[in-house]
């Protein structure tokens, strides 16, 4: 294992952040539409998403043709934010960063940590504020004035109004904002249920053209009602950045380590940076589908990410050949790393909201049941056992987002992690272990947890030499 010295980097990249006054104010629709409108003008657009979200980046990727990346200081650290932004936006003409929740919403009431404001400050990025003006008139100016006055280390350089009722409504709000503040209103998006993007179960859309057609309609609407040329001018005002990155780690890659990654309509939640980090460490990624493939590819480790196994639980159950192969691989000692949906798939059964049970791979002695209660938040884990991603006494930062709950957990089930923060599987524990298989509700980002990526590749290398 070789560690390289910390290099210094310089970035000169046009960029803006599309922030919101609150969740569900329309910022995902506006951000995705702006990306599409810029693409229509012939620009190469790189999308980013503040926070750990998997869904919104998928919208960005569909319209830009480039993998959108996440920016999250809890998961990646500040240096990881710079590294991902710099590497991903390098050959793009402009970077569009979608915020999370409200502009200042993060980990607490007195800090900008894990907020859109933090990323705006770190990246010196101009902010475009999306304001939901449904049932609002002149009061919209008070919102913009308040948000502008709280800005530290960045500026709100423009406003996009969402959910306007008419051209007259737009003009009323625009005049009020521009009279009471120095922030220009650069356009609006009319209220239209047909232009709303799905907030859950994106997998339902993946096999149809419906989502792509909706995103195109949003882009067309934004192109007509938002001054995207002015947005580009604002993006060009972003200052140059200089920063140092963490030392890179390289591993020997002459033995062609192969990592099988589950990827289909049931398993699609992966940070692109995670796959990139594994490739940088010399691993070759081989994708496979637990839904439709009958044979596992020849690999040295399995990585089964999150997603929606409950949507196609009947198809996963019917593919008994794949389930048996995965179970036998685990029994043979192959290292397996599963996150959230992957944990569900490696359990004995998954149970729907209606109470219907489907057999899963049976690697772990637990079932999972779908609920209407969301477990959501960042996690911090103390490792109490060696795993394919960690050594004993390591500390890991992750996040969890799931509507499932473990049931019928075997009394001898072993756990790898003691949770300092988060819910996990049971009683502040996470990371079920069986042989060399690990299943956890927590998702990790390998920009922040580089040692976990190294551990995965080294686990695969050890297995390949057996």
CA distances from 413 to 307, 361, 367, 406, 432 (A): 24, 16, 12, 12, 7
- What's the CA gap between 281 and 258, in Å, rounded? 11
DSSP annotation string for 132-168? E-TT-STHHHHHHHHHHHT--SS-EEEEEEEEE-SHH
State phi, psi for 451 to the nearest 5 degrees: -60, -30
Contacts for 89 with CB less than 8 Å, ≥ 6 apart:
11, 13, 15, 46, 48, 95
173 as an active site residue: the answer is: no
Residue 87, CA distances (Å) to 13, 26, 82, 104, 449 in order? 11, 28, 8, 26, 18
According to the 3-state scheme, what is the secondary structure of 189-242? EECCHHHCCCCCCHHHCCCCCHHHHHHHHHHHHHHHHECHHHHHHHHHCCCCEE
**Of 45, 21, 13, nearest to 222 (Cα)?**
45
List 25, 173, 340, 432, catalytic entry = 340
Give catalytic residues, as residue numbers: 340
């Amino acid at each position: 294992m070789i560690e390289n010295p910390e290099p210094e980097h310089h970035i000169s990249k046009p960029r803006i952040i599309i922030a919101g006054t609150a969740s569900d104010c329309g910022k995902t629709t506006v951000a995705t539409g702006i990306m599409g409108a810029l693409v229509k003008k012939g620009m190469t657009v790189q999308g980013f998403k503040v926070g750990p979200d998997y869904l919104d980046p998928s919208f960005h990727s569909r319209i830009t043709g480039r993998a959108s990346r996440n920016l999250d200081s809890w998961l990646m650290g500040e240096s990881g934010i710079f590294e991902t932004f710099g590497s991903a936006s390098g050959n793009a003409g402009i970077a569009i960063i979608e915020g999370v929740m409200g502009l200042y919403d993060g980990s607490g009431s007195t800090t900008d940590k894990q907020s859109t404001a933090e990323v705006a400050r770190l990246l010196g990025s101009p902010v475009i504020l999306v304001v939901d003006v449904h049932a609002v008139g002149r009061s919209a100016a008070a919102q913009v004035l308040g948000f502008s006055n709280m800005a530290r280390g960045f500026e709100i350089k423009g406003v996009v109004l969402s959910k306007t009722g008419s051209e007259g409504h737009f003009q009323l709000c625009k005049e009020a904002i521009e009279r009471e503040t120095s922030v220009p209103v650069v356009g609006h998006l009319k209220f239209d249920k047909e232009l709303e993007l799905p907030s859950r179960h994106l997998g339902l859309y993946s096999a149809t053209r419906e989502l792509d057609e909706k995103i195109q309609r949003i882009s067309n609407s934004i192109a007509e009602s938002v001054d995207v040329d002015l947005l580009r001018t604002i993006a060009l005002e972003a200052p140059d950045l200089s920063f140092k990155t963490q030392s890179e780690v390289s591993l020997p890659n002459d033995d062609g380590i192969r990592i099988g990654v589950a990827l289909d309509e049931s398993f699609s939640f992966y940070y692109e940076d995670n796959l990139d980090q594994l490739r940088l460490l010399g691993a070759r990624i081989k994708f496979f589908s637990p839904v439709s493939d009958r044979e596992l590819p020849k690999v040295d480790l399995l990585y089964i990410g999150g997603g929606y196994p409950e949507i196609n639980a009947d198809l996963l159950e019917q593919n008994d050949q794949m389930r048996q192969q995965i179970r036998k691989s685990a029994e043979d000692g192959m290292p397996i790393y599963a996150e959230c949906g992957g944990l569900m798939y490696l359990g004995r059964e998954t149970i729907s909201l209606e109470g219907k049970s489907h057999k899963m791979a049976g690697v772990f002695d637990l079932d999972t049941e779908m609920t209407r209660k969301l477990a959501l938040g960042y996690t911090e884990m103390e490792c109490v056992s060696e795993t394919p991603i960690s050594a004993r006494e390591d500390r890991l930062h992750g996040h969890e987002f799931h509507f499932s709950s473990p049931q019928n957990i075997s009394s001898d089930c072993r756990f790898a992690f003691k949770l300092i923060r988060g819910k996990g599987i049971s009683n502040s524990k996470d990371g079920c272990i069986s042989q060399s298989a690990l299943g956890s509700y927590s998702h990790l980002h390998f920009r922040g947890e580089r040692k976990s990526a190294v551990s995965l590749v080294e686990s695969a290398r050890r297995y390949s030499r057996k």
